[in-house]
Amino acid sequence: MARQETTALRRGWTTGACAAAASRAAFQALLTGKFPNPVAIRLPRGQAPIFPLALAEQSDGRARAGVVKDAGDDPDVTHGALIVAELAWASPGSGIQFRAGEGVGTVTRPGLALAVGEPAINPAPRAIIAETLTELAEANGASSPDLEVTIAIPGGALLAEKTMNARLGILGGLSVLGTTGIVVPYSCSSWIHAIQRGIDVARAAGFAHIAAATGSTSERAVQRLYDL
């Protein structure tokens, strides 16, 4: 029997990593008037990926940059999506403020890691973006930056219909996710994390019981069985 060659699945970058790269590029344009292309960032585990820019626009006091997400070999709904960061100077002492742009959802139910009303930019991506911007500010001789950071994913509202966001109470678009910045194809931990978030929202809503379904067929069976 001929020996079969195995090829490792290619990893990709999370929406959070892409948002951080776009944010860095936009901030550098605010500071220097020029966009870096490509743009590099540092991830929590030390990796330093490089992203080519797909969008670079600047006007008075504002800059927009975008990168196209490469999710590797993972069947990620956001693979190929444009992740855009628009940065503008904020009032002194306000720090870094996050906003949801086109295609990024808003949290409407308790139980998630973000408060109701917050843009669905998870804590880990926020931390990566904030650290990236702070390091760039310090490298340019500035103090902690006061910035309004708006993350957008054009077409994200339509893509979100293929996700669990609406059931979790994240409305209007996608979530900006990623703890490490790296997409691991067919990750079991990501799947388990998604289940845990669903349970958290159910508990916060006061439900004492939940039903687990492996797909649409078993979900419909549970709905019929319990008259849901």
**pLDDT for the residue numbered 10:** 94
Do 105 and 160 contact (CB within 8 A), yes or no? yes
Domain map of the chain by residue range?
A: 12-185, 187-228
Which secondary-structure segment (H or E) carries 96? Answer: strand 96-100
Return the structure tokens found at 191: 């799947």
DSSP result, 23-74: HHHHHHHHHHS---SSEE---TTS---EE--SEEEEETTEEEEEEE---TTS
Do 25 and 53 contact (CB within 8 A), yes or no? yes
What confidence tens digit (pLDDT) does each residue in 38-76 have? 999 999 999 999 999 999 999 989 999 999 999 999 999
Q: Provide CB contacts within 8 A for 166, sequence distance 6+.
A: 160
Minimum mean pLDDT range among 8-17, 147-156, 178-187, 212-221: 212-221
Q: Provide CB contacts within 8 A for 58, sequence distance 6+.
A: 29, 30, 33, 35, 64
**12-185: CATH topology:** CbiD-like (3.30.2110)
**pLDDT for the residue numbered 8:** 85
Please state whether 176 falls in left (phi above 0), alpha (psi between -120 and 50) or beta.
beta
